Amino acid sequence: MNYPVVVDVSLRPGIADPEGATIERALPALGFTGVSAVRAGKSFRLVIDAPDEATARDRARALADRVLSNPVIEVATVRVGES
Partner 1 sequence: MTRVAIVLFPGSNCEYDAALAMREFGVDSTFVFHTATDLDDADAVILPGGFAHGDYLRPGALARFSPVMASVARFAAAGGPVLGICNGFQVLTEAGLLPGALQKNRGLTFLSEPTTVVVASTRSVLTRAATPGQELVIPINHFSGAYTCDDATYRELVENDQIVLRYRDNPNGSRDDVAGISNVAGNVVGLMPHPERALSTLLGSADGRVLLEGFVESLARV
Contacting positions for partner 1 (CB under 8 A): 15-16, 18-19, 22, 67-68, 70, 72-73
Minimum Å distance from CB 82 to partner 1? 22
Residue 55: its H or E element: helix 53-63
Minimum Å distance from CB 72 to partner 1? 4
Backbone torsion region of residue 20, taken as left when φ is above 0, otherwise alpha when ψ lies between -120 and 50, otherwise beta: alpha
Which is closer to partner 1, CB of 18 or CB of 51? Answer: 18
The C-alpha angle 23, 16, 31, rounded to 5 degrees, equals 15
Minimum Å distance from CB 46 to partner 1? 13
